[in-house]
Structure 1
Amino acid sequence: MLKSFLCVNMLLTVLKACDRSPGLRKNIVSQLVNRVDGICSWMSVLLNTSTLKNMISPFSLEQERETYSWHAELILSIANIDYRLQQSLMSSPALFHLFSRLWTSRDVKNQLLWFPESLNDCPVVRILLKIIAVNGHKGAFYQHLSDSHQQLSQDLVDGIARRIRLISSKNLPFTRAYQAFDDLIFITQRLFANEFLRGTLLRARCLSLMSSNLKTMLSLSPSSGKSLPRPPFRPLAAIYECLRRTNAWSIKNWRDLVAEDFLASIVQILPLLDGNDDHMSTGRVLLRELRMYTLYPSVLASHPLLTGCQTPIIKDPKASDIWSSFKRSLDERVYVYKHMWNRDILEICDNLSVRKDFLSFTNIGY
């Protein structure tokens, strides 16, 4: 066990030296790119050593946290040295196996349920997000996951949902509840972008959970007694983005997997946004899209938000043409985002300090 820690510590020290020596960095990168599978296999051996130690004398949670954090931080340190190295490492089958080992540790599940301010404080979750970012729509990593590991998306969502309920029940600061929900959006969006996991997310009713948690969050009273901040627009936009990404699914799959509970929860959310024209306009657009993509128009057709709204909400001489394009293809929907909702989205993203990340993820652009 001591040897494994010394090896990891020594490699971390060398990696830190890369920041001060470009020549050393270049040499290390060229060596590591061709050895990522070996590095991951080596770390798996270290974890096996830890497992044997655990069989002799069970770890405390603190000891397990230290062991797995060392290995996870090493992976992140290697990935951060060079973009080419990160691409090679995060697409390595050996890393997928190592990640599965890290993911099943008690500490990861503990942090999912009781994480501090943000999931970013959990290094294994940061590895997951890097894997998703590098692999994009490739199926190798997702096909590698066993049936038990396919629950990782649901574990993440359930963990954040429990955190929101805990914060609301203890009347802790409103901003912490919103941070937890923001993590939910951040991770769910990225998982939703992958076709392999999209069906898992729908079957787990993650959209329903997102919408119900949003309703819970909006029902909370900020500790300062002030009115709700503008960021509630972003969860609506995020849910809407998830809806757009289901466009390739047949109506039957959408009907069977999402069902009326999601539609009903969305309808319950919208009145909570009353009094803000921007939020209400977004709500009307969302309702129209729901009517397009589902077989439950009767659930929404009589909603007060749609009464008398037979023309597009967006005010523009070419609104009708743009609205038609909006219904035809993803690219033209992006056009509407850029030219018609630009002010609202940019303002919200600026307020949240996530402008570049949010816009690049939703393909909106500047």
Structure 2
Amino acid sequence: MNAPLQAPETGDISNSQAERPALTLLIAAPRGFCAGVDRAIEIVERAIQKYGAPVYVRHEIVHNRYVVDSLKEQGAVFVEELDEVPEGAPVVFSAHGVPKSVPAEAERREMIYVDATCPLVSKVHRQAERQIEKGRHIIFIGHAGHPEVIGTMGQVEEGEITLVETVADVEQLEFEPGIELSYLTQTTLSVDDTAEVIAALHERFPEIHGPKAEDICYATSNRQAAVKRIAPASDLVLVIGAPNSSNSLRLVEVAERLGTDARLIQRAEEIDPSWLDGVGTLGLTAGASAPEKLVREVVERISEWREVHEETIVAAEEKMVFKLPRELAD
């Protein structure tokens, strides 16, 4: 644990420590951007530099409004489907991955496209293809409607993959006798919840095949581990992230599972000062799509009301870097 850092006082010097009660702020590490998000954002920025604005992006490149708005200012235009992209305009596919039909349609239209799918999501896509090649039916653990789930399920033919979200879903599964099964998972799930679902799968289908290494990505696991470090010592945990960000929502759930009140916020302006009533220790983290700038913004906001003493709680060190697509690597 790093030594506490005292935040600078704000406002007039007459604003004494007595007027701003002391608050211990436990900041989780790692937090915020992961290697896949860094890569996706850089892909959009380099595409704008190479092709000129506008560059179209199919779906939000990552689930964070601040990031999306920043890229819009640089010349990115966000759309949901390829039919919204004008002829001849370049398009980037989001970090969450897309069904095979999307690049196939882009090639049919002879579009310029760059795939920003996170390499760890692409790994799951390849695993899905290999399981089908081996004649196995895939049970996919994920959240219905999430772009990553749509993209992964779209790697195989309809009927070759079944989605489950919970242990209860596993209990409802029925397959023809003799069918060989395998399972894969979304990369941004709760580590603990997913372990329970996998255990239920093994109990119901003892011969089921799983991946050699878990599909939940290192960044998701590390951020959840960091929350597990700060939540037990905190009266409240704030998670910076978007309401449609799976990994951010899981961080809230991890804190709550440990008995700590937790709230998801997108920006510092959403914080109600009353939340800090009776709070002596506050935990703070950020989902993998939230930039560090938003973390500092929250710290500055809280410092307006409390005398903040920061401590960084480190659960893991991250040094992962993903290569850019060849067409943008120069």
Quickly name the TM-score band, shorter chain normalised.
under 0.3
Which structure has more helix as a fraction of its residues?
1
TM-score of the aligned structures, taking structure 1 as reference length: 0.25
Tell me: higher relative CO, structure 1 or 2? Use CA pairs within 8 A at least 6 residues apart: 2
TM-score of the aligned structures, taking structure 2 as reference length: 0.26
Which structure has more strand as a fraction of its residues?
2
